[in-house]
Structure 1
Amino acid sequence: MPDPTRFQGKVAIVTGAARGIGAACARRFASEGGSVLCVDLLEEVKDFAASIGGVGLCLSVAERGAGERIAQAALTAFGRIDILVNNAGVGGSKRLELSSDELIDRIIDIDLSAMLRVTRDVMAHMTRPGGRIVNVSSLFGLVGYPGTTAYSAAKGGVAHFTRQLAGELAPEGILVNAVAPGVVATSMTEDFLKNERYQRLMVQPTPVGRVGTPEEQAAVICFLASDEASFVAGAVIPTDGGYTAARHLPND
């Protein structure tokens, strides 16, 4: 059950916060006493943020200077930054031979390079000690899956970026970790979940036997962002219903 005081006095920034995992994280931070800056390319982020008592900032994390704009928005609204959840990302990857330069650049930039730039600019303003950075990688950043080359490469980069940055920032009192979601019911996966082949390859082999929810991802992310995770650094936790541990054979 949510603890209404767990993030009392803390300020969290969540990117990709208008929908899906990001919205679930922002909602949980707010329900547990935190102040939240919700960042998203979608204009609806402002209304969503207002609905949970937060502040919305509409911009693309891929814009140059986005990190400093995000940091200043949080400092102006709340006076401090304790938590950064790097959730913004895009899909649409293809097999490498079908990937144009534009597609590769877009996915690598939004899913990986922008995360580095935003984190670099925001972490300069974070609470020390006590800061928390939680990155959203992917199941496909841990294991390969045909047809997702650029996306898998970017999310694999997120996983190793997490380990690298954890080693650099832990001595300063900022803990960096990540989650690697499996199949989660969001607008990004909506069309995939209607595909019978995808169900056989991704959902049926999952030991838990179902698709995950954004709220289940948010629960782990918020744990990593909390004081309870005070001895966790550089972890990339598969939040995938067991898919990376032991895949089941699809149903006949």
Structure 2
Amino acid sequence: MTFAPTDLSGRTAVVTGAGQGIGFAIAGALTAAGAHVVAVDRDAGGRAALAADPRVTFVQGDVTDAALPPLLDEALDRGRRRLDILVNNAGIGRGGHALVTGDEDFRQFLDVNLVGLFRLSRWAVGRMIGTGGGAIVNTASIFGEVGAQNTAGYSASKAGVIGLTRQMATDYGPNGIRVNAVAPGLIETPLVADRIRSEPWRRHVLIDGAALRRVGQPVDIARAVRFLASDEAGFITGQILHVDGGWANCRFPRETPISADE
């Protein structure tokens, strides 16, 4: 029995929302392991940072656009690449409670966070079935499992991601396709950093209330995604991996660390 670092050499991954934040870190983690990444982002501004890496092909597109799968087919076929990994990372957040969430607002959360993810997952399994399997990793959220204030549309859409992850893992396991999800807690992207500074309650609830007592970084999510996409997770499917510093499952953390003298 031998153990080696994660090696994704020769594999191709599609990563949505790859132009910034968590998606950018995921793309970097996968290329560092040897994969070629087809990086999808609706903002052309992400192209410069991503396209500088020869292991990245940039595709400008929106996950709510039904024309995105054909664009990805074109990019893969042009590079003579098979699809091995799909990371459904693109999404929108925030929102409000139900009384201030209109029908269109709610529908937008579903369209971006769930319907777009479903469309690309359906496209991916269609390709993977013909090539012997693959791995899909979805970005869910702790808020899809734990009730959180002012997130009616967001929490509902992420709960749908969790349900779809488990369902598709059941259907496509016999085809050698693994489907898992990461459920991030509080992750310090530029927008979240501003919220932490301006909203003290957020630090109190989501950082002081977590076992590890720190905010997460995009690299924390990227490493978890890379693991689930790799052969190291070859016997794992239908799982939701909490990457939240212990917030969801350790709701009554100690006030101080345990002393070695106790």
- Range class of TM-score, shorter chain: over 0.9
User: Superposition pairs for residues 33-52 of structure 1, below 5 Å?
Assistant: 33-52=34-53
Contact 2:211–2:254 (CA under 8 A) maintained in structure 1 = no
> What is residue 79 of structure 1 aligned with on the other side?
81
Asked whether the equivalents of residues 212 and 241 of structure 1 are also in contact (C-alpha less than 8 Å), the reply is: yes
Structure 1 position 221 matched with structure 2 position 225: yes
Amino acid at match of 2:36: S
The alpha carbon displacement at 1:75 in A equals 2.9
Q: Please, which of 42, 59, 62 is the counterpart of residue 60 of structure 1?
A: 62
- 1:51-101 per-position Cα deviation (integer Å, ceiling 9, x unaligned): 232111111111122223223322323421100000000013100100122
Quote the Cα distance in structure 2 between the aligned partners of 1:191 and 1:105.
Answer: 27
Find out whether 1:126 has 2:167 as its counterpart: no
Within the candidate set 137, 148, 155, 1:145 is matched to: 148
Rounded Cα–Cα distance in structure 1 between residues aligned with 2:230 and 2:253: 37
Q: Can you give the 5+ residue segments of structure 2 that lack an aligned partner in the other structure?
A: 256-262
With the length of structure 2 as denominator, give the TM-score of the two structures. 0.90
Query: Given the alignment, which residue of 203, 207, 210 partners 1:206?
Result: 210
User: 1:21 maps to which residue?
Assistant: 22
Please name the residue that 2:93 is paired with. 91
| Corresponding residue for residue 30 of structure 1 | 31
Q: What amino acid sits opposite 1:171 in the alignment?
A: P
RMSD of equivalent CA atoms: 1.8
Amino acid of the residue matched to residue 123 of structure 2?
Answer: D
The Cα of 1:108 is off from its aligned counterpart by: 1.1
Partner SS, residue 38 of structure 1: strand
Could you say which residue in structure 1 is the equivalent of 2:168?
Answer: 165
Counterpart of 2:242 in structure 1 is 238
Unaligned runs of 5+ in 1: none
Matched residue SS, 2:192: coil
Q: Which amino acid aligns with 2:248?
A: T
Of 114-123 and 31-40, the range deviating more from structure 2:
114-123
The one-letter code matched in structure 2 to 1:154 is S
Q: Any conservation in 1 of the 2:17–2:91 contact (CA below 8 Å)?
A: yes
Cα distance in 1 for partners of 2:133, 2:227 equals: 14
Measure how far apart 1:249 and its partner are.
6.5
Q: Could you state the TM-score of these two structures normalised by the residue count of structure 1? A: 0.93
